[in-house]
Amino acid sequence: MKARSKIAPVRDIIQNVFAHLESTANPFQEDMESIWQELVGVDGFKHSRPVALRKKVLKIVIDSSGWMQELSMRKRGILKGLKRKLGKDKISEINFRIGEF
């Protein structure tokens, strides 16, 4: 007869999941957020976050239309700063969208 496996407490399972998530955190995301905050300032960072970089296009989520307009007007300068920090071959465009982060 097969031995019964011990049932783990939910608390232990959740702690293990969070420990795994922390150990597999994306260092690129952390670096990108740091660079983004430097380029858009503290106020801009409160209202926007980089969420992905795919095919040289940086995707940014913004929490309001007012900040969408503000960052859209500053887009060219922000893109220059990103190219300077990351390298010209790493990023070619920034796409903004309104959403939650």
Which residues, other chains included, contact 24 with Cβ-Cβ below 8 Å and sequence gap of 6+? none
Task: Kindly report the average pLDDT of the chain as a whole number.
Answer: 88
Q: Could you report the per-residue pLDDT of 57-89, keeping only the tens digit for each?
A: 999 999 999 999 999 999 999 999 999 999 999
Domain ranges across the chain: 27-98
Examine the pLDDT at 97 and tell me if it is beyond 90. yes
CATH topology for the 27-98 domain: GMP Synthetase; Chain A, domain 3 (3.30.300)
Whole-number Cα distances in Å, 11 to 20, 34, 53, 79:
14, 33, 35, 44
Which residues, other chains included, contact 12 with Cβ-Cβ below 8 Å and sequence gap of 6+? none
Q: Could you report the per-residue pLDDT of 6-45, keeping only the tens digit for each?
A: 787 888 888 777 776 655 556 567 789 999 999 999 999 9
pTM for this one?
0.71
Parallel/antiparallel/unpaired status of strands 57-62 and 93-98: parallel
